[in-house]
Amino acid sequence: MAVILLDGSLSQWVKTESVPAGGALASLAAAVAGFFVGELLDASRDLLEWVWDRFQPVRWEFLVTEGEKVEKFMTSYFTWYVFDCNASLALAIVLLLASFTPTPAPPFVRPVLALSLVIFVVNARQLRKEMAPLTGESRQAPDKAT
């Protein structure tokens, strides 16, 4: 299998390198594994939404009932919220795995992972606070009885 690119003038094909057939299979396996991990993160986030809803309710029915408003909501808030939640879950898993790996990581790795985790969690929380009123959810999280 060969990787072929066009040169700048588009007048001739330039063969850049040969890729063994096993390389294509490995690339396909990596893409499938990446898709699977992404779906696993999405499913985990979906399962945890009920916890988030206890603190900051969001009327999720909005996504299927409001039509035109949903497009703007998806591009402005929801997509970034999902990304932040999935990145938070992935960073938490990587940080946990880095804590138990037999090979020590460079000293800066754990603090960078932890800081990144905090940034994504705080941003997801802020986006969720902004999303709630836009979906028509005006009630606050239930007060705890004292």
Task: With H, G, I as helix, E, B as strand and everything else as coil, classify residue 50.
Answer: helix
Q: What is the dihedral of CA 47, 49, 53, 55, to 10 degrees?
A: 100
**Is pLDDT of 118 > 90?**
yes
Please give the pLDDT value at position 9.
42
d(CA 144, CA 18): 65
Q: CA 114 → CA 44, 92, 98, 118, 119, distances in Å? A: 20, 8, 11, 6, 9
At 123 the pLDDT is 93
* Average pLDDT over all residues of the chain: 77
The rounded radius of gyration (Å) of the Cα atoms in the chain is: 22
The answer to pTM > 0.75 is no
The per-residue pLDDT for range 25-76, each reduced to its tens digit, is: 788 888 888 888 888 888 888 888 888 888 888 887 777 776 777 888 888 8
Q: What is the pLDDT of residues 99-117, one digit of tens each?
A: 888 887 788 888 999 999 9
